[in-house]
Homo-oligomer: A and B are copies of this chain.
Amino acid sequence: MSLKGRDILSMRDLSRPEILEILKASRALIPVAEGRRPSRALEGRLLSLAFFEPSTRTRLSFETAAKRLGARTITIVDPAASSMAKGESLSDTVRMLSCYADLIVLRHPNEGASRLAAQLSDKPVINAGDGAGQHPTQTLLDLATMEERFQTLAGLRVVLMGDLRYGRTVHSLAHALGLFGSELTLSSPERLSLPEEVRRDLDQMGAKVTEQPDLEKALRGADVLYVTRIQKERFGDLAEYAKVSGSYRLDPALLRNMKEKFAVMHPLPRVAEIPPEVDRSPHAVYFRQAFLAVPVRMALLSLILTGRVPPGGGR
């Protein structure tokens, strides 16, 4: 069950026990992520971060994870400035990176790019988002955030809100929550509802899933509201975009009667889905979620490169 040397391309590459191992390792690494406990656990390791589309948050949290553990990084951030501009293929770029570094973190606009990379690289590949495809480390940090808040993932009542059709992270999150026995409520405009195949997969797992486009009703009894961005480019008609995105904006008034531990989550960056006044609410955990990206990615890097997490997170 060791993760040593493994590729992480999709949540489906991880078993339940493996996910739990990552979450446990992540908890142990929180003091290192906070900068309170220095670590040289990955000293001498070199990671390659190849970002072929912008994702500052993902890139910086991977860099932070690597550097707080003593590893070094080499980074491609601007496709225009890279060899790709000379016509080089992704294949050759990946082969080059696997000549240099001990692990490749890849962000790419094309679905399947990470799987291709993993086939060509003799070093482990972590998918940091491939177009409409997968973004497994986002799902892991989402799970870590819920688990930290509720000490469990089983039986949580989670509302998924916004764009459930095109938001890739929400698909693998839904699958993972199903795997751990959460109850899902889907709250989205019809044209942005969860794709058929994702829904079918949840049904086959025996996950408890209901649909409730009315957010106020959806929130009754909920533990978690997971908000996603509604993207303008999904709508031909801007008037309809304005109407839909307006109605899927979180009204702070809705938070008044929620349970004490009720949590509002968002993968960030947000635009207008969550108004700034929610930030001060004790229910707002999206910045904690942003922080937990670091120990979760630390755990993955550590387990993949060394097969273990240093005792107590330090060394």
Residues of chain A having any CB pair with chain B under 8 Å: 35, 38-39, 43-46, 48, 54-57, 60-61, 63-64, 67-68, 72, 74, 76-78, 80-83, 85-88, 91-93, 95-97, 99-102, 268-271, 276, 287, 290-291, 293-294
Cα distance A293–B68 in the bound complex, in angstroms: 26
Q: Which B residue's beta carbon lies closest to that of A76?
A: B56
Q: B270, A60: Cβ atoms under 8 Å?
A: no
Cα distance A46–B268 in the bound complex, in angstroms: 22
List the 4 shortest-distance A-B pairs measured between CB atoms, nearest first.
A38-B44, A88-B269, A99-B291, A67-B72
Of A48, A57, A87, chain B has the most CB atoms within 10 Å of the CB of: A57
Contact A64 to B46, CB < 8 A, known contacts A54-B85, A77-B81, A83-B269: yes
A298 → chain B closest CB, angstroms: 12
Task: Specify which chain B residues have a CB less than 8 angstroms from the CB of A54 in the assembled complex.
Answer: 80-83, 85-86
Q: A74, B88: Cβ atoms under 8 Å?
A: no
Q: B46, A68: Cβ atoms under 8 Å?
A: yes
Contact A35 to B102, CB < 8 A, known contacts A60-B76, A269-B92, A290-B96: yes
Cα distance A83–B268 in the bound complex, in angstroms: 9
Cα distance A83–B60 in the bound complex, in angstroms: 11
Interface contacts beyond A46-B67, A67-B72, A67-B74: sample of 11 additional A-B pairs, CB < 8 Å, sorted by A: A54-B85, A57-B83, A61-B100, A77-B78, A78-B78, A88-B270, A91-B276, A92-B268, A96-B287, A99-B291, A100-B294
Contact A268 to B96, CB < 8 A, known contacts A67-B46, A91-B276: yes
Q: B57, A64: Cβ atoms under 8 Å?
A: no
Task: Specify which chain B residues have a CB less than 8 angstroms from the CB of A268 in the assembled complex.
Answer: 83, 88, 92, 96
Q: Which B residue's beta carbon lies closest to that of A271?
A: B87
Task: Specify which chain B residues have a CB less than 8 angstroms from the CB of A57 in the assembled complex.
Answer: 83, 96
Task: Specify which chain B residues have a CB less than 8 angstroms from the CB of A60 in the assembled complex.
Answer: 48, 74, 76, 96-97, 100
Cα distance A81–B76 in the bound complex, in angstroms: 12
Taking a contact as CB atoms closer than 8 A, the residue among B43, B78, B294 that contacts A81 in the complex is B78
